[in-house]
Amino acid sequence: MKYLLDVNALVALTLNSHEFHERVAAWVGRNANERFVLATCPITELGFVRVLAQIPDYRITVAQGQALLAQLKSSKTVKILFIADDHDASLLPSWVKGPRQTTDGHLAELARSKGALLATLDRGIPGSFRIPGAAKT
């Protein structure tokens, strides 16, 4: 299965200090095999670099964010593809009603059109996959 990571999931996977790092890393670890593919796209990659450089606690520059992303994408643990984004605003799904839904809607539709699911930590994004928390014992 192919999953397009949203910005928060991409940051969580990469930074050990992120509040959801263990959750995302465990999900990836449980599923890492030849059929499990993660993906990025221009929006998620640019958002990743922006978030890392923008949050003072991370103390990461734009160049360091780019290097972290390149390191993640060259990982041998899990395959990470880049999905080209050929969608414009006319392709937003009908459930997008407000400005806070536009990026989620765009990413969900882009993922769907490329045979993937949008992987997110958020609730309530139609057609997306919510990365699960730790299994209850």
Q: What are the structural domain ranges in the chain?
A: 2-123
Helix, strand, or coil (residue 40):
strand
Gap between the Cα atoms of 21 and 37, Å rounded: 18
- At what angle are helices 7-14 and 21-31 packed, to 10 degrees? 90
| Residue 97 clears pLDDT 90, i.e. is over it | yes
Q: What is the mean pLDDT of residues 38-63?
A: 96
pLDDT digits (tens, 9 = 90+) for 102-133: 999 999 999 999 999 999 999 989 999 999 98
Q: How confident is the model at residue 67 (pLDDT cuts 50, 70, 90)?
A: very high
| Residue 33 clears pLDDT 50, i.e. is over it | yes
| Residue 96 clears pLDDT 60, i.e. is over it | yes
CATH class of 2-123: alpha beta
| Residue 76 clears pLDDT 90, i.e. is over it | no
Percent of the chain with pLDDT over 70: 97
- Are 88 and 102 a contacting pair, CB within 8 Å? no
Cα distances (Å, whole numbers) of residue 62 to 48, 50, 105, 115: 10, 7, 26, 31
**Tokens encoding 100:** 């806070």
Q: How confident is the model at residue 137 (pLDDT cuts 50, 70, 90)?
A: very low
Q: What is the mean pLDDT of residues 19-40?
A: 94
Q: How confident is the model at residue 134 (pLDDT cuts 50, 70, 90)?
A: low
pTM over 0.85: yes
Q: Chain-wide mean pLDDT for the chain?
A: 94
Sheet holding 117-120, edge to edge: 79-82, 37-40, 2-5, 117-120, 129-130
